[in-house]
Amino acid sequence: MPRDDVTAETRQSFTKVGTRPLRPDGVDKVTGRARFGADMAAPGMLIGKVLRSPHAHARIRSIDTSKAEALPGVKAVVTRDDFANRTDELRDILVNVMAREKALYEGHAVAAVAAVSAAVARKALRLIEVDYELLPHVIDVEEAMRPDSVLLHDDMFTAGVDPVPDQPSNVAKRCEFGHGEVEKGFAEADIVIERSFRTEASHQGYIEPHACLASVGADGQGELWCCTQGHFMVRDTCAALLGMDVSRLRVIASEIGGGFGGKTTVFIEPVALTLSRKAGRPVKLVMTRDEVFRASGPTASTSVWVRIGVTKDGRITAGEAVLKYQGGAFAGSPVEPGAMTAFACYDLENVRAIGYDVVTNRPKQAAYRAPGAPMAAFAVESVVAELADRIGMDPIEFRLKNASREGTRSAYGPTFGPIGLVETLKAAKAHPHYSAPLGNNQGRGVASGFWFNFGGQTCVSLNINIDGTVGLAVGTPDIGGSRASMCLMAAEELGIEYDRVRVIVADTSSLGFNDVTDGSRVTFASGMATIQAARDAVKKLCARAARMWDIPEDAVVWEGGYAKPAGANAGDFQPLSLRDIAAAAAKTGGPIAGHWEFNAENAGPSFATHIVDAEVDPETGRTSILRYTVVQDAGKAVHPSYVEGQFQGGAAQGIGWALNEEYIYGADGKLQNPGFLDYRMPVASDLPMIDTVIVEVPNPGHPYGVRGVGETSIVPPLAAVANAVSAAAGVRLTSLPMSPPKILAALEAEKGAQAAE
């Protein structure tokens, strides 16, 4: 952390942190009182609707909106002409928000209307005439990389290659990480296994569709209510796209029904603001589920090749991977973190990971929990499992023998500080799950995973109220129970009860800039800011007590929620509680508040190891998940229930990604399953209770040792489930999702191979 006044020591004992009180927003959430993105209304409000491309790839020759504009009840129509062109880093976001020269994927926005009702708005969309010149399309990552592929952007020249290619392609970037001499390492191996793997695009699957209400007044000042993981990001991006001063746009984050990374960018918000500005009235815009699937970000689909060599006694001599990720129609697939994390769990002398960022005619990918890492882990951990089996070594012992630990030079470069991978492996091996018996057609899989975790810009205010209660304003939307964690940390520092602290997610005009709720950063960064703001308030509380006692400020200490004289020489005074000092605040100098703003660094990486038992029905190819255990390093679990919830949620999403979820495209480049009936996410009846073990290896970069936990939990499950299914089926599965038809085909192929032998 750049500020040397942030306390670096790791606190060991707690009275509030580590307990499990009810979440402060719980009653609102279960009674329907909580207000989500679509719950806001305003007088005179219009309904916005978006016209989307029915074609996977088409040049837009012209857009005629005259008939729609003439329809009674239509108050505004916007197209590309209503958004100023850009050439900077916001260009791709702008083009994704509203198509310009070309529609780059089915579902790409090409126009939008605001009307007095949804019915009129829908009718108006049908009256907009778009003249398309159809173009051939490409959906598959390998096809998109071919030299003769359809080209999406004639100005895309592969970055990361020297010299820069003289021909455009669909490969936006090449990256490479690693060290040592890979071929020398493979020459030292007794066994080398190489395999190719595929994963399909999966959607974050948040329950709440994107929704917003925009209101721009005649004076050019705007307000935007929206569901987002980062309202400061929304404000700055929208203000730039609309040419507004940042100070003239106030964004209020609603409650959020899930995000998982998918709400870390803008889609409909700039459109709603532009419609409102044009109509002079508030505009509400809510995506349908169909639109969420077709036009908001799923994650990348991938093709990954892995080669790993080992000695007979289980030492990995070299690891190599080539990762190809398509991230939709724009550069920016998460292949870099994929390549960096692929071998992060292993202490390797010789390692190389090469990544390619590829564009296709699909919606622009958005971040999804530990972006890029689960697909890489699927490939690497599958080969690791196969190697352990081949040399007859227990898979956890094999991982322990090669595990990254403090002092290991990571596969992506830097040397690890204190990390908890070994602790998760040992805890997994000791867990009763690992030694439980298995039945027929059942298999057990293990996999480990890594994520960096991030900090970021953070600003909080903590106000002491007149009755001694505390109001805490944070700028990071609560998507995982973070308000409860903030209350606990504030209560811990102030020495008051948990329910004496109330947290709000403040709007963009009330706090300094806060980065998005992403990167597993909130309990770490907003939590650290909360701790420091509380300490700032404590200093002021002690100063007020000193004035009331007429003694020097440094003669007062804060203990257990009371200001006390520090030692016998300070005088003999009855301790003053926070409530006492707050009640006298008006007469001792006015309001008392703590504040903290900083750029949090040193988030401390997180590792996890998962164990899963699966049963495969050889007749139908259907997989049942019988038992699942997550073991993960949390550094310090502030609210263990929400840490466990993050562990369980990541595992559940990973199971869906491994077994069922996929974007299915027709030959026409159109998505075939844009709904939850055909895009099959796991429901409660599909899953066993997911057991959890919290490992705590303190992060020295946080006063309590906290590490983020929101993302690492989705890194191992793809591989863990694949290893379990492969063990149960007796054949290695290399393509996700492992749907029944794929498993049956693999079983048939294995039978055929055995018959041929």
Partner 1 sequence: MVQVRLSGTFKSYAGGRDAFEIEAANVRQLLDGLGEACPKLRPILDKGVAVAIDGEIYRDSWFQSLRPDSEVFILPRLAGG
The smaller minimum CB distance to partner 1, of residues 408 and 648, is found at: 408
**Token digits of residue 214:** 């925009």
Stretch that binds partner 1, among 144-152, 364-372, 460-468, 577-585 (CB under 8 A): 364-372
- Residue of 311, 415, 574, 672 that binds partner 1 (CB under 8 A): 415
Smallest distance, partner 1 to C-beta of residue 395, A:
27
**Token digits of residue 742:** 């794929």
CB atoms closer than 10 angstroms to residue 749: 11
**Closest listed residue to residue 678, CA positions, set 311, 278, 203, 287:** 203
- Residue of 371, 443, 475, 716 that binds partner 1 (CB under 8 A): 371
Smallest distance, partner 1 to C-beta of residue 678, A:
24
Binders in 1-40 for partner 1, by CB under 8 A: 2
The smaller minimum CB distance to partner 1, of residues 174 and 433, is found at: 174
Smallest distance, partner 1 to C-beta of residue 131, A:
37
By the rule CB under 8 A, 453 interacts with partner 1: yes
Strand 562-565 and strand 556-559: pairing? antiparallel
By the rule CB under 8 A, 277 interacts with partner 1: no
- Look at the block and give the residue holding tokens 């106030």: 250
**Token digits of residue 92:** 């791709």
For residue 473, the surrounding DSSP H or E stretch is: strand 470-474
Cα 456 from Cα 598, distance rounded (Å) = 8
- Residue of 205, 222, 261, 270 that binds partner 1 (CB under 8 A): 261
Smallest distance, partner 1 to C-beta of residue 412, A:
7
The smaller minimum CB distance to partner 1, of residues 285 and 353, is found at: 353
The smaller minimum CB distance to partner 1, of residues 8 and 664, is found at: 8
Strand 222-226 and strand 249-253: pairing? parallel
By the rule CB under 8 A, 161 interacts with partner 1: yes
- Residue of 711, 715, 723, 736 that binds partner 1 (CB under 8 A): 711
Give the contact letters, 194-233, x = binds to partner 1 (CB under 8 A), - = no. Answer: ----------x-----------------------------
**Token digits of residue 8:** 């670096």
Smallest distance, partner 1 to C-beta of residue 417, A:
5
Stretch that binds partner 1, among 449-457, 486-494, 580-588, 729-737 (CB under 8 A): 449-457
Are the CB atoms for 133 and 118 separated by under 8 Å?
no
Strand 102-103 and strand 351-358: pairing? unpaired
- Residue of 267, 330, 346, 454 that binds partner 1 (CB under 8 A): 454
- Residue of 519, 645, 674, 698 that binds partner 1 (CB under 8 A): 519
Binders in 58-117 for partner 1, by CB under 8 A: 89
The smaller minimum CB distance to partner 1, of residues 171 and 428, is found at: 171
The smaller minimum CB distance to partner 1, of residues 299 and 382, is found at: 299
3-state secondary structure string across 219-264:
CCCEEEEECCCCHHHHHHHHHHHHCCCHHHEEEEECCCCCCCCCCC
Smallest distance, partner 1 to C-beta of residue 414, A:
4
By the rule CB under 8 A, 405 interacts with partner 1: no
Q: In what order do the strands lie in the sheet with 562-565?
A: 556-559, 562-565, 576-577
Q: Before 395, cis peptide (omega within 30)?
A: no
By the rule CB under 8 A, 455 interacts with partner 1: yes
Q: Would you give the DSSP letter of residue 501? A: E
Centroid of chain to Cα 636: 20
- Residue of 83, 132, 267, 416 that binds partner 1 (CB under 8 A): 416
Are the CB atoms for 491 and 538 separated by under 8 Å?
no
The smaller minimum CB distance to partner 1, of residues 162 and 245, is found at: 162
Applying CB under 8 A, what is the total number of residues that bind partner 1?
51
Binders in 171-190 for partner 1, by CB under 8 A: 173-178
**Closest listed residue to residue 630, CA positions, set 602, 659, 653:** 653
**Closest listed residue to residue 369, CA positions, set 291, 419, 298:** 298
Cα 263 from Cα 288, distance rounded (Å) = 15
Kindly tell me the burial class for residue 54, based on how many C-beta atoms sit within 10 Å of its own C-beta (0-12, 13-18, 19 or more).
middle
By the rule CB under 8 A, 679 interacts with partner 1: no
The smaller minimum CB distance to partner 1, of residues 577 and 646, is found at: 646
Instruction: DSSP for 314-326, please give it.
Output: S-EEEEEEEEEEE
Smallest distance, partner 1 to C-beta of residue 374, A:
11
Cα 139 from Cα 143, distance rounded (Å) = 8
The smaller minimum CB distance to partner 1, of residues 9 and 162, is found at: 162
* Bridge partners for 631 per DSSP: 609, 693
Instruction: DSSP for 202-227, please give it.
Output: -B---SSPPEEEEEE-TTS-EEEEE-
Smallest distance, partner 1 to C-beta of residue 373, A:
10
Task: Produce one character per residue of 504-532: b if its CB has 16 or more CB atoms within 10 Å, e if not.
Answer: ebbbbeebebbbbbbbbbbbbbbbbbbbb
For residue 483, the surrounding DSSP H or E stretch is: helix 482-494
Stretch that binds partner 1, among 133-141, 258-266, 613-621, 740-748 (CB under 8 A): 258-266
Stretch that binds partner 1, among 268-276, 365-373, 576-584, 631-639 (CB under 8 A): 365-373
> How many CA atoms within 13 Å lie on the side-chain side of 199?
34
By the rule CB under 8 A, 492 interacts with partner 1: no
CB atoms closer than 10 angstroms to residue 425: 24
Cα 615 from Cα 621, distance rounded (Å) = 10
Binders in 691-710 for partner 1, by CB under 8 A: 701, 710
Binders in 326-355 for partner 1, by CB under 8 A: 336-337, 339-340
Binders in 592-611 for partner 1, by CB under 8 A: 599, 601-603
The smaller minimum CB distance to partner 1, of residues 169 and 276, is found at: 169
3-state secondary structure of 582: helix
Stretch that binds partner 1, among 50-58, 156-164, 188-196, 487-495 (CB under 8 A): 156-164
Which residues contact partner 1 (rule: CB under 8 A)? 2, 89, 159-162, 173-178, 204, 260-262, 264, 336-337, 339-340, 366-371, 412-417, 451-457, 518-521, 599, 601-603, 701, 710-711
